[in-house]
Amino acid sequence: MATRVLGIGALAAVAGATAFALFVVPADMNQGEGQRIMYVHVASAWLAYLSFGVTAAASVWWLVRHDPRADAVALAGAEVGVLFTAATIWAGMMWGRPVWGTYWQWEDPRLTTTALLLALYVGYLLIRRLTDEPAQRATRAAVVGIIAAIDIPIVHFSVVWWRGLHQGPTFISPDTILSPPAPGQFVAALLLMLGAFSLAWLWMMVNRYRLARLEWEGEESARRGRLPRLAAPVPEPRS
């Protein structure tokens, strides 16, 4: 019931934030209408980082405790993170064409490391399909989930460390948004979209976690159904 309310709330919030971003906030003086794409781009990017951070933390949790819930959280983070990374890249391309004059540039460190991030977590999801044994799969995935997380700070700080097309980070510090002072409506649209997407993210994480738990339980009960026959105790010979 609570998840259903969350889902309806997320849907309404995303619809409201989208209407605000598209039809209430004025167009940017320099970037024109294309600026509106930034609201979904930044919100998606932030949630992609969060998702993969959750996957890394849950991967450590699995390796330490071997708790199936940890593997379910890690899987939820990776799958939802892939979705939001794809949304980030797509939104960035749609913004880049009118503003930069190109959809993509491989020489740009932010773009290339983000594409690598997407590839790493698609790889994470593919590695999970290599084995049907839940514990072995979770361990392999946890190792990949931790190694892949190294790319998160590289993506974020790539615009600080190297020169490229992409502008500086939006969320490195609050004064980056406010200085030079951005019009209040722009900041409000960004924060509204971030809040709305966060609700949608939470709904997806909860439901993907539940699905992963059901899948794990299904696999375990299928294994238990097979194992008794294989592991049935051999009757001792009567003397």
Partner 1 sequence: MIDFGAVGDLAFVVSAYGMILGGIGLYAFSLGRRLRRARHATSAAPPEPPADRPA
Residues binding partner 1 (CB under 8 A):
7, 14, 18, 21-22, 31-34, 36-37, 40, 44, 83, 86-87, 90-91, 94-95, 97-99, 200, 203-204, 207-208, 210-211, 214-215, 217-218, 221, 224-225, 228-229, 232
Q: How far is the CB of 94 from partner 1 (least distance, A)?
A: 4
For residue 51, the tally of other CB atoms under 10 A from its CB is 25
Residues 80/203, Cβ–Cβ less than 8 Å = no
User: Would you say 56 or 76 has its CB closer to partner 1?
Assistant: 76
Residues 85/117, Cβ–Cβ less than 8 Å = yes
**Location of structure tokens 């790889």:** 123
Q: How far is the CB of 39 from partner 1 (least distance, A)?
A: 9
User: Would you say 21 or 194 has its CB closer to partner 1?
Assistant: 21
**Structure tokens of 17?**
């934030």
Residues 100/165, Cβ–Cβ less than 8 Å = yes
User: Would you say 65 or 210 has its CB closer to partner 1?
Assistant: 210
User: Would you say 20 or 157 has its CB closer to partner 1?
Assistant: 20
Mutual angle of helices 109-127 and 151-161, in 10-degree steps: 170
